[in-house]
Each structure stands twice: as C-alpha cells, then as structure tokens.
Amino acid sequence: MLTRVAVLVSGGGTNLQAIIDFAKAGKLKDGEIVAVIASNSKAYALQRAENAGIYHTVIDRKSFPSLKGFEEALLKELERVEADLIVLAGFMTVLSADFVSRYPQRIINVHPSLIPSFCGDGFYGLKVHEAALAYGVKLTGATVHYVNEVTDGGKIIMQKAVKVHDGDTPEVLQKRVMEQAEWKILPQAVQKICKKIKENRL
C-alpha cells in the first residue's frame, strides 16, 4: 500500500513541482500524491496539479471568517482523500495546535533557512533571505521538518546548506536556495517519510 500524500499550497507551487517531477522519475517509491489543496483559488500550483493529472481543490482561507472554520473544512477534505502524510509546500496559513495534534509526525514543511536560524513567527518568503543577508551569514540553506504547535519548531528531517555570495539580493538568494536545496531535499524527505509510514515505523 502506497502512502497517500496530500500537498497543501498557496502560491506558485515550485516545491509541489519538485515533488511531481521526483514522482514522475520513479523516485517516490513508497508514496503517491492523491490531492493538492490550495488555500487560494489563484494559486498557480493548481495548474501544476492539473497538468500532472493530480486531483486538486480549493479551500479558500479568505472565505472563512475564522481559522477554525477553515481548518474544519481542510480536515474534512484530508479525511475524504484518506491522506496519510500532509506536505506543506509554500502553504501560507499557520495551522493551529489543535489541527497539528491530529496528525502527529504526519505533517512536514520546508523552510528556506537552516533552522534554528531565521525561523519562527514572521519568517517566511523573502523575509527569511532578507534577514540572512542583513546578518551577514556566509551559509544559508533549507530545512525539512515535522510540523508541531511551534512555528518551525518540529524535529528536523533533512537540511542542505547553500553558499551566500557577495552582492546577493534577497531574490537572487531565494532562487539559489530553492534550486540547490528546497527542490532537492523536500522530495527526498517525502519519500523518506512515506517509506516509514508504509513500514509502520512512524
């Protein structure tokens, strides 16, 4: 039985594409992407799912006055598709402790820094790279970690370092971190966790 993976997205879906390409190359041996769920109807990630023939749907965060209502709709959909593993791939909603507690060691996220640097509340997107450059670090990277009730606070699954170059802008650094780290370790981590779930080791 393959591990059933649901990918939650909010934007362009480049990390989703990395997982799709990894699966197409036959490397996602112990899992399958059964659903792509977007919190934003304009997310280009939906088109990527469509192109790959993967079931996709929208649960628009803006149409729910409360996080609770949004999470209830999300839970219903995750239960419907029988998701075993939830992958946050550029998903811009911080999930509540109540939601996360329902899927212990079953939600993973990719963060564009070497945790514990430049992470936690308020560190997302370009802000992470702006902070890294402002601090003057020579190495940054990406981290895949389990999601718990603390923002970016779950146990680390994989990390990859990326060099910071003189004259980098946040945008240039963001692209390098995606290409050299995020797009490589996220699919690998998905396979690693899928295998553990399949073998009942999680």
DSSP strands (E only) in 31-155:
31-38, 56-58, 85-88, 107-111, 139-146
Asked if 56 is an active-site residue, the reply is: no
Q: Which of 89, 90, 85 has the alpha carbon at shortest distance from 103?
A: 85
Among 111, 129, 145, 165, the active-site one is 111
Contact 41, 61 (CB under 8 A): no
For residues 15-37, one letter each, b for 16 or more C-beta atoms within 10 angstroms of the residue's C-beta and e for the rest, the string is: bbbbbbebbeeeebebbebbbbb
Alpha carbon distance 143, 185 (integer Å): 8
How far from chain centre, in Å, is Cα 201? 22
Residue 124 backbone phi and psi in degrees, to 5: -155, 160
Contact 38, 10 (CB under 8 A): yes
Contact 14, 178 (CB under 8 A): yes
Catalytic positions are 111
